[in-house]
C-alpha cells in the first residue's frame, strides 16, 4: 500500500471495499467487531533502554480512509462496492508507530502522516498512547505541525522522567538506535481482535550532519544494514540513551532524521496555539542553480552571458513554476526568476531556501533579492507568506487535476468527494452521487452546512451520476444532498477571491 508508519492494519468489517482503479478487497465480516486493541509486549528484550519511547495507535474511519485513497497514487475515481455491514464512521484502518516523550514528561511528538488529513476543526484524530510497560495512557491530541510533519499530544499528567536530548556535538560515525514497533509474534501477529507489537531497534551510524544556515543541525543522515519505509517515524537514540531525533524519510538508503531541537520547536508552536499550525507557503517550484546545467538556465529565457555568470556563482534558487493565486503569484514572481537572498540570508541550495521560509513562518513577510532574465539589475521584492496544513506537493498536484478554466470545481470550493456506483449509493439512501469525504473548514461549503458523509445527488438540478469532483459550479449553486437517508437542500456561494 502507501502508508509509511511502522505497522498498518486494515480491519475486517465491511469487506473493506472495492474501488475503481484500485486493487483493495477483503472478505466481508459477518458479525460486528470491537475496535482493534494493540497490545505491547513489554517483556521483549531491548538492546538499549528507551523509557521515553512510546507506542502510538492511530485509527481512521471509512471517510478518512476514502480521502487518503483519493489522494494516493492509486487515484481511485469511484466506490464500486461496500459490504452491507460497512459503516462510514467505523474505524477501518489502524496505524501503529512510535512516539517520543519530550523534556517535560507530558508532551509526546510522533510522525503520523495521516493526521495531516484530520488537522483543523471539526476533525480530531483517534489516537492512543501506550507506554513502555504496555499500559494505555490518557492523552489529548493537540495538533499537527505542518512544517515538520509531526503530531503533538499531551498526557493528562506527568508520567515520564525528564527526557535527555542531544542537540549539538553530534559526530559523524556516532552509533545510534532507531526504535519502532514491530510484530511481537510474526507468525501469529493478528489474534482475534488484538494486534501484538513490541518496541524493536535497528542499529545504525551517523553518516552526515547537515547544517542549517543558522549553524544549527538541520538534518542527520544515518546508515544501517536493514532500513525500509517501516523505519520512518522511528525514534533515534544514541548509545547514552539520549534522543537525537525522529526519522522522517529515506534517501539513498540512508535515514534522514529530524533533530531534537526541531522537534521541540514544533511542539512549542502547537502547544502555544493549542491547535494545528500551518507551514509557511509561497507557491513555487524551483531548483538550486548549482544543480542546473547551462542549457536549463537558457531555457528559462536567460541570455548566454548572464546564464554563464549565474551558473558560475552557484547561488540562488531558479523558479520553474508558480501556483496561480499564490503568494508568489501575487508578488509577481515568475518562472525563470532566481531568488538569491531571503532577507539577508544568501541562498545556495534548496535546503537553505526551505529553512529560511520555515523560520519566517506563515502569515509573515519575507524580503527576496531576485535576479530576473529580462532585468539587468537585481530587485527586492516583499512577499507575504500564507499558511497551509496540506502536504505541499501532493495537495497541489491533486487539486490541479480538477481545476477548470471556466467555472469552479468542487475542490476549489474546499470539497473532496468520490463518485458512488449505483449499488453503493442505494446503501446510503440514494440512487447515485458523490460521497463527500472532506469539507475544508471556513470554506463556503462548510459555512453552508455541507458535511463529510453527505452524498451530493444533484447540482443546480442536474444529477451527478456521471460526474466527478471536477463538476463545474456557478457563482451560486443549489446542492441536493442525502444525509442519513434524508434529503437536504443547500445553497453554495462561490468563494471570495483570495487577497
pLDDT at residue 210 is higher than 50 = yes
CATH 2.30.42.10 spans which residues of the chain? 279-388, 402-493
Q: Which of 142-146, 163-167, 422-426 has the highest mean pLDDT?
A: 142-146
Q: Are 432 and 497 in contact (CB under 8 A)?
A: no
Better pLDDT: 245 or 216: 245
Q: What top-level class would CATH report for the domain 402-493?
A: mainly beta
Look at residue 115 in the predicted model and tell me its pLDDT. 73
Task: At 294, give phi and psi (nearest 5°).
Answer: -60, -40
Average pLDDT over residues 301-324: 91
Q: Over the stretch 106-146, which tens digit does the pLDDT of each residue have? A: 999 999 877 766 655 556 788 888 888 888 888 999 998 98
Determine the longest span between alpha carbons in the chain, in angstroms: 74
Residue 81 Rama label (left phi>0; alpha psi -120 to 50; beta) = beta
What are the CA-CA distances from residue 150 to residues 14, 25, 241, 373, 418 (Å)? Answer: 31, 31, 21, 39, 28
Residue 469 has pLDDT above 60, yes or no: no
Q: Of 25-34, 123-132, 278-287, 421-430, which range is least confident? A: 25-34
Q: What is the pLDDT of residue 495?
A: 58
Q: What is the pLDDT of residues 226-243, one digit of tens each?
A: 888 888 899 999 988 889
Long-range pairs of 444-451 with CB within 8 A, sequence gap ≥ 24: 444/413, 444/414, 444/492, 444/493, 444/494, 444/495, 445/413, 445/414, 445/415, 445/492, 446/414, 448/479, 448/490, 448/491, 448/492, 448/493, 449/488, 449/490, 450/415, 450/479, 450/481, 450/490, 450/492, 451/483
Is 191 a residue whose pLDDT tops 50? Answer: no
Q: Cell 520555515 identifies what position?
A: 358
Q: What is the mean pLDDT of residues 286-311?
A: 92
CATH class of segment(s) 7-273: mainly beta
Q: Is the peptide bond before 16 cis (omega within 30 degrees of 0)?
A: yes
Highest mean pLDDT among 162-176, 205-219, 254-268, 479-493: 254-268
Q: How many angstroms separate the Cα of 437 from the Cα of each of 50, 118, 307?
A: 39, 11, 48
Q: Which of 14-18, 444-448, 464-468 has maximum average pLDDT? A: 444-448
- E strand map for 372-414: 379-384, 386-388
**Range with the lowest mean pLDDT among 25-34, 90-99, 172-181, 322-331?**
25-34
How many other C-beta atoms can be found within 10 angstroms of the C-beta atom of residue 179? 27
At 337 the three-state DSSP class reads: coil
**Quick one: pLDDT at residue 133?**
80
* pLDDT reading at 279 higher than 80: yes
Whole-number pLDDT of residue 385: 92
> Looking at per-residue confidence, does 364 or 431 come out higher?
364
- pLDDT band for position 161 (cuts 50, 70, 90): low
Cα–Cα distance, 425 to 35 (Å, whole number): 26
pLDDT reported for residue 153: 94
pLDDT at 482: 87
Decide if pLDDT at 190 tops 50: no
| pLDDT > 70? residue 466 | no
pLDDT tier, 331 (very low <50, low <70, confident <90, very high otherwise) = very high
* CB count in 10 Å sphere of residue 283: 22
CA angle 135, 138, 141 (to 5 degrees): 125
d(CA 89, CA 127): 15
**Cα three-residue angle 432-435-438, rounded to 5 degrees:** 165
pLDDT of residue 463: 81
CATH code of 279-388, in short, is 2.30.42.10
User: 73-110: per-residue pLDDT in tens?
Assistant: 555 566 666 655 566 666 566 778 899 998 888 999 99
Q: What is the mean pLDDT of residues 459-463?
A: 83
Residues forming CATH 2.40.10.120 domain(s) in the chain: 7-273
Q: Residue 206 in contact with residue 50, Cβ under 8 Å? A: no
- State pLDDT tens for residues 13-64: 333 444 433 323 333 333 334 455 555 555 544 444 578 899 898 877 777 7
Looking at mean pLDDT, say which of 88-97, 173-182, 429-438 comes out highest.
Answer: 173-182
Amino acid at each position: 500500500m502507501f502508508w509509511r508508519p511502522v505497522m498498518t492494519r486494515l480491519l475486517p468489517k465491511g469487506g473493506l471495499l472495492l474501488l475503481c482503479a484500485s486493487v483493495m478487497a477483503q472478505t466481508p465480516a459477518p458479525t460486528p467487531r470491537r475496535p482493534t486493541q494493540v497490545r505491547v509486549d513489554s517483556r521483549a528484550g531491548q538492546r538499549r533502554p528507551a523509557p521515553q519511547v512510546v507506542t502510538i495507535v492511530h485509527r481512521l474511519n471509512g471517510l478518512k480512509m476514502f480521502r487518503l485513497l483519493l489522494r494516493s497514487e492509486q487515484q481511485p475515481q469511484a466506490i464500486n462496492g461496500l459490504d452491507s455491514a460497512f459503516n462510514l464512521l467505523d474505524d477501518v484502518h489502524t496505524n501503529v508507530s512510535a512516539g517520543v516523550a519530550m523534556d517535560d514528561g507530558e508532551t509526546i511528538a510522533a510522525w503520523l502522516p495521516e493526521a495531516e488529513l484530520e488537522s483543523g476543526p471539526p476533525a480530531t484524530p483517534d489516537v492512543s498512547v501506550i507506554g513502555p510497560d504496555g499500559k494505555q495512557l490518557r492523552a489529548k491530541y493537540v495538533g499537527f505541525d505542518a512544517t515538520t510533519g509531526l503530531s503533538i499530544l499531551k498526557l493528562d499528567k506527568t508520567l515520564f522522567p525528564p527526557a535527555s536530548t542531544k542537540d549539538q556535538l553530534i559526530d559523524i560515525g556516532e552509533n545510534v538506535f532507531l526504535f519502532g514497533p514491530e510484530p511481537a509474534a510474526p507468525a501469529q501477529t493478528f489474534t482475534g481482535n488484538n494486534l501484538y507489537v513490541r518496541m524493536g531497534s535497528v542499529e545504525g551510524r551517523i553518516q552526515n550532519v547537515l547544517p542549517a544556515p543558522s549553524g544549527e543541525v538541520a538534518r542527520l543522515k544515518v546508515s544501517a544494514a536493514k532500513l525500509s519505509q517501516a523505519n520512518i517515524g522511528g525514534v533515534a537514540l544514541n548509545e547514552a540513551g539520549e534522543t537525537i531525533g525522529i526519522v522522517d524519510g529515506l534517501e539513498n538508503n540512508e535515514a534522514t532524521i529530524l533533530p531534537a531541537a526541531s522537534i521541540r520547536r514544533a511542539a512549542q508552536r502547537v502547544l502555544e496555539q493549542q491547535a494545528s499550525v500551518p507551514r509557511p507557503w509561497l507557491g513555487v517550484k524551483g531548483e538550486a542553480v548549482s544543480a542546473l546545467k547551462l542549457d536549463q538556465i537558457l531555457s528559462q529565457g536567460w541570455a548566454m552571458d548572464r546564464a554563464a555568470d549565474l551558473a558560475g556563482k552557484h547561488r540562488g534558487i531558479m523558479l520553474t513554476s508558480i501556483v496561480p493565486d499564490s503568494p508568489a503569484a501575487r508578488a509577481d514572481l515568475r518562472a525563470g526568476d532566481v531568488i538569491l537572498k531571503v532577507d539577508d540570508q544568501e541562498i545556495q541550495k534548496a535546503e537553505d531556501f526551505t529553512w529560511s521560509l520555515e523560520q519566517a513562518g506563515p502569515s509573515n513577510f519575507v524580503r527576496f533579492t531576485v535576479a530576473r532574465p529580462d532585468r539587468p539589475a537585481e530587485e527586492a521584492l516583499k512577499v507575504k507568506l500564507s499558511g497551509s496544513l496540506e502536504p505541499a506537493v501532493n495537495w497541489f498536484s491533486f487539486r490541479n487535476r480538477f481545476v477548470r478554466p471556466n467555472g469552479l470545481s468542487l475542490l476549489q470550493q474546499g470539497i473532496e468527494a468520490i463518485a458512488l456506483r449505483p449499488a453503493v449509493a442505494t446503501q446510503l439512501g440514494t440512487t447515485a452521487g458523490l460521497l463527500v469525504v472532506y469539507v475544508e473548514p471556513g470554506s463556503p461549503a462548510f459555512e453552508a452546512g455541507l458535511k463529510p458523509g453527505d452524498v451530493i445527488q444533484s447540482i443546480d438540478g442536474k444529477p451527478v451520476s456521471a460526474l466527478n469532483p471536477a463538476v463545474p459550479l456557478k457563482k451560486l449553486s443549489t446542492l441536493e444532498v442525502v444525509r442519513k437517508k434524508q434529503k437536504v437542500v443547500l445553497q453554495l456561494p462561490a468563494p471570495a477571491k483570495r487577497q
